[in-house]
Amino acid sequence: MLSVVHPADRKSLTEALEAVTTGKERMLNGNCRWINIKGDVVWVNYRGKVLCDNLGKPSLMIGRVSEEALRHLFNPLTGLWNKPKMREDLKVLLEKQVGYLMLFDIDGLAAINLRHGRAYGDTLLKAVAELLDTHDLITAAYHIDHNNFAAVINADTTEDVEAVFVSLQREMYDKCTFTACAVPINRDFFHDVSSLLDSINLTLKKAKQNKRGHLAFFSVDEIGQRIRSLALLEEFQASVQNGCEGFEVFYQPQVKTGNYDLYAVEALLRYQSPVRGRVFPDEFIPILESSRLIDTVGLWVLEQSLLQCKAWRDHIPDLHVSVNFSIVQFEDIFITEKIMGILNATGMPGEALTIEITESLQLQESPQFSACVKSLKALGVSFSIDDFGTGYSNLGYLKQMNVDEIKIDRIFVSGIEKNTYNHRLIENILEFAKMSAIRVCCEGIESIRELAILEGLNPDLLQGYLFAKPASAADIERTFIDCGTAEYEQHMEFIHKIYHVKEKMGVIHFDPKDILRETDVGLWIIRINEADRYFEMHADETMERIMAVERKVTPQECFVHWQSRICESHVDYVHKNLMHMMNVNKVVQLEYPWMHPILGRVMVRSNGKRVKDSDGMIVLEGYQKIVSNMEVV
């Protein structure tokens, strides 16, 4: 009989038979594979009972071999157990809490089938099955479906599991690669087989999105997060059926620079879950987007905000409302008509509405979005690029796209009083925006100090916790709209306090740049990425003037302009001093001859110091002056 048993199962069958012949066991019950007359693998279940002689020694076994009992438990192609069998086995294994379950896919099997034919693909599947079957540390292997396999690995640590995965990859390196994930078979993480399988499936899905050809491990936090997302999704589906029940639109004021009058409110969505409490957009917007529920919820937000704005216009006649849109909403080919429909139904003019959309490359490639912008702009609707500076910033594109507003993200605004690079950046954006008649809103202003510095740059609108956190319509009404309330009074007092503090800080009346301009002291920032040998020089107006560099040059070109004009004799000297500046925490002064495009050879003096790195680049900051033409008494 052993000759027809699959080689991989001979050992276990022999051991089981030995246990009954030696009298250790009285019953035989197990599964193994036989090779049938056609050479195919067939799973059989064997059962037997031992009969003993007069002396009590085993002498005879009566039993049966059945193919039928297992027919529905294995995959006919590879002969490995299938998914129902895996579920059964896992039930037992979870009780014992041993080892890891690894789930994996053969990468690109469909393409392999296409290229080499189905028969080749089948051979590959069989080869993988055999590999799993014969691996020392794999105690059970399953063929789930198509390209998907699972294996129970007898391992205590993730390193051991990794080693098994690597050995599988190595065996098959010339035929295919695997993407896999593994979870511990452990009751602490999974209370039943279903939760274990849900988690492992999610982990594999994520692993495939991230990077193919790798093994990922289950992370408790991540899975918890995923499970929460799925539960929220279910709640949202029900909510959408129910007129967006549980969702509420909060509003955050945008005020005008200078007098801090209310210009607009930005609609910011909130969700109140009956089981989870308040949930914030950073968590739920991605869920709404991937499930496409954002289409319905987004239009609901638009309608609510327009109605609210309309009501508040009784008090503030030209109040505006800004509504966030996700780029996926523009995949709807009727989006323009739907927005127009809501404007009509609410009786609001297009001028009242600003559509905020987060800057992204996708945006630039969406013809649908461009078409929508065109049609709605004709009705007076404004378009605003949100989180400007965080993604694919391209000022030229904004101009071409004809946007009306840019919102500068909080990461540039926060701590602006200490960060000259950000200061310069915002200054540049504002300069460009003014030229292109684009409105600029600075977001996330939290302190009067930030406010004071920003106002020096004169953006159009200001938004942030300093003025108000996003709040319910009722709260906003009490603080900003209804002038008879205590909250309104308090807010007015606060605005006076802002004036007062600013005056005391002296920031409004003191512009150090004037004196720098008068004395021809130019400010520069050099940013260096040493690894890529990439250099930038950012120059203020005076610096540009004293270097006679054109206004439009890029920071890279500016650096080249400066560097290429250092007189030959001093190139080494300047280079050494820059290196020195990078390495010491002190101001370094250098003086060198420089070929001015108009004046010819001049002596310049520069003082600079290394400041905090930014975007992984070394940043040097300093000033420069031409000293050869200075008046000396």
Interface ranges with ligand C2E (CB under 6 A): 252, 267-269, 280-282, 285, 298, 301, 324-326, 356, 358, 386-387, 410, 444-446, 464-465, 470
Nearer CB in complex with ligand C2E: 280/499? 280
Nearer CB in complex with Ca ion: 129/352? 352
Q: Which does 456 bind (CB under 5 to 8 A by kind): ligand C2E, Ca ion, none?
A: none
CB burial string 249-261: b at 16+ within 10 A, e below? bbbbbbbebeebe
Considering only the stretches 236-244, 339-347, 439-447, 449-457, report the one whose residues sit in contact with Ca ion under the rule CB under 5 A. 439-447
Alpha-carbon distance of 85 to 107, in angstroms, equals 24
Q: Which does 20 bind (CB under 5 to 8 A by kind): ligand C2E, Ca ion, none?
A: none
Q: According to the binding rule CB under 5 A, does residue 386 interact with Ca ion?
A: yes
**CB atoms closer than 10 angstroms to residue 352:** 21
Nearer CB in complex with Ca ion: 303/356? 356
Tokens in use for 139? Answer: 């105690």
Q: Which does 555 bind (CB under 5 to 8 A by kind): Ca ion, ligand C2E, none?
A: none
Alpha-carbon distance of 240 to 576, in angstroms, equals 65
At its nearest, how many Å lie between ligand C2E and the CB of residue 247? 9
DSSP 8-state secondary structure symbol assigned to residue 390: S
Considering only the stretches 50-58, 437-445, 451-459, 568-576, report the one whose residues sit in contact with Ca ion under the rule CB under 5 A. 437-445
Considering only the stretches 237-245, 299-307, 443-451, 524-532, report the one whose residues sit in contact with Ca ion under the rule CB under 5 A. 443-451
Nearer CB in complex with Ca ion: 101/468? 468
Q: According to the binding rule CB under 5 A, does residue 463 interact with Ca ion?
A: no
In the list 130, 356, 450, 621, the residue contacting Ca ion (rule: CB under 5 A) is: 356
Nearer CB in complex with ligand C2E: 267/626? 267
Q: Which does 133 bind (CB under 5 to 8 A by kind): ligand C2E, Ca ion, none?
A: none
Nearer CB in complex with ligand C2E: 235/356? 356
Alpha-carbon distance of 17 to 10, in angstroms, equals 10
Q: Which does 405 bind (CB under 5 to 8 A by kind): Ca ion, ligand C2E, none?
A: none
Tokens in use for 498? Answer: 């802002």
Q: According to the binding rule CB under 5 A, does residue 359 interact with Ca ion?
A: no
Residues 163/168/173/176 CA torsion (nearest 10 deg):
-130
At its nearest, how many Å lie between ligand C2E and the CB of residue 288? 8
Nearer CB in complex with Ca ion: 250/594? 250
Looking only at residues 293 through 352 of this chain, which bind Ca ion when binding is defined by CB under 5 A? Answer: 324
At its nearest, how many Å lie between ligand C2E and the CB of residue 266? 7
At its nearest, how many Å lie between ligand C2E and the CB of residue 330? 11
At its nearest, how many Å lie between ligand C2E and the CB of residue 232? 15
Q: Which does 269 bind (CB under 5 to 8 A by kind): ligand C2E, Ca ion, none?
A: ligand C2E
At its nearest, how many Å lie between Ca ion and the CB of residue 391? 11
Residues in contact with Ca ion, total (CB under 5 A)? 5
Q: What are phi and psi of 488, to 5 degrees?
A: -65, -45
Distances, alpha carbon 594 to alpha carbons 70, 118, 244, 580, in Å: 88, 72, 67, 20
Nearer CB in complex with ligand C2E: 94/264? 264
At its nearest, how many Å lie between Ca ion and the CB of residue 381? 15
Tokens in use for 326? Answer: 């996700």
Instruction: Specify the pairing of strand 353-358 against strand 382-388.
Output: parallel
Q: Which does 604 bind (CB under 5 to 8 A by kind): ligand C2E, Ca ion, none?
A: none
Alpha-carbon distance of 138 to 171, in angstroms, equals 15
Supply the DSSP string of 160-194, one letter for each residue: HHHHHHHHHHHHTTTT--EEEEEEE--TTT-SSHH
At its nearest, how many Å lie between ligand C2E and the CB of residue 227? 22
Alpha-carbon distance of 480 to 307, in angstroms, equals 17
Alpha-carbon distance of 129 to 245, in angstroms, equals 51
Cα angle for residues 130, 134, 137 (degrees, 5° grid): 130
Nearer CB in complex with ligand C2E: 240/558? 240
Q: According to the binding rule CB under 5 A, does residue 382 interact with Ca ion?
A: no
Q: What are phi and psi of 358, to 5 degrees?
A: -70, 135
Q: Longest Cα pair distance anywhere in the chain, in angstroms?
A: 131
Q: Which does 106 bind (CB under 5 to 8 A by kind): Ca ion, ligand C2E, none?
A: none
3-class SS letters over 462-505: ECCCCCCCCECHHHHHHHHHCCCCHHHHHHHHHHHHHHHHHHHH
Instruction: Specify the pairing of strand 382-388 against strand 405-408.
Output: parallel
Alpha-carbon distance of 549 to 595, in angstroms, equals 12
Q: Which does 235 bind (CB under 5 to 8 A by kind): Ca ion, ligand C2E, none?
A: none
Residues in the chain: 633
Nearer CB in complex with ligand C2E: 34/251? 251
Instruction: Specify the pairing of strand 353-358 against strand 320-325.
Output: parallel
Cα angle for residues 51, 55, 61 (degrees, 5° grid): 15
Nearer CB in complex with ligand C2E: 31/354? 354
At its nearest, how many Å lie between ligand C2E and the CB of residue 259? 20
Tokens in use for 18? Answer: 């030995």
Q: Looking up tokens 């000259």, which residue turns up?
A: 420
Q: According to the binding rule CB under 5 A, does residue 387 interact with Ca ion?
A: yes
Tokens in use for 627? Answer: 């000293």
With contact defined as beta carbons under 8 Å apart, do 262 and 253 qualify?
yes
Nearer CB in complex with Ca ion: 42/416? 416
Nearer CB in complex with ligand C2E: 133/386? 386
At its nearest, how many Å lie between Ca ion and the CB of residue 176? 45
Q: Give the residues lining the site for Ca ion (CB under 5 A).
A: 324, 356, 386-387, 443
